[in-house]
Amino acid sequence: MEKKSLFSLVFESNELTQKIIENNGELPDDLSFDLEEIETSMAQKVDNYAVFMDRLDMESDYWGKRADEYAKVSKSLDNLKKRIKSNIKEAMLGLQTTEILGNDMRFKLSKTKPKTIYIESNIPDEYKKSVVSIEIDKDKIAEALKRGESIPGVVREEAYSLRKYANRTK
């Protein structure tokens, strides 16, 4: 039996159904064998897809955990670099120097634009502005749709999810 894709099995199944319709609903012996072969191949294909999807779940979990671990290491290293940089700046400010030299490298301290810190409770009202936010009330829309109302600008679209279960029909 040759290996076939799920799409080719569905296509063959549709062709076979059309032949049965053309034969007034009768299932000749030659088509009966084809039907059994398609059903067997389809069942094996479905089972294989389920196993493969389980394997993909495990792989995804594994690599997700590894990514989390690497992200933590990266963040720790970034934080260490920031602390070292801050320590060097503080040391230079304490020494009242703008440059320190090593054998191969040097650090130079240069002024930048001042950092603005806002203490909101101390800022006078004349330096504040009000912001109005308009949001869609999705809960209200959901209730109206449950009542069968039609709302301009809201479109309902068919959605499907694929679930996998053990086949207990045998």
Contact criterion met (CB below 8 Å) for 31 and 19: yes
| One-letter amino acid of 144 | A
Strand partners, 108: 99
Ordered by start, the domain boundaries in the chain are: 6-112
| One-letter amino acid of 62 | Y
Neighbours of 16 (CB within 10 A): 17
Return the minimum-mean-pLDDT range out of 28-32, 109-113, 128-132: 28-32
- Residue 85: CB partners within 8 Å, gap ≥ 6? none
pTM (2 d.p.): 0.51
* β 99-101/106-108 pair status: antiparallel
pLDDT tens per residue across span 50-106: 888 888 899 999 999 999 999 999 999 999 999 999 999 999 999 999 999 989 999
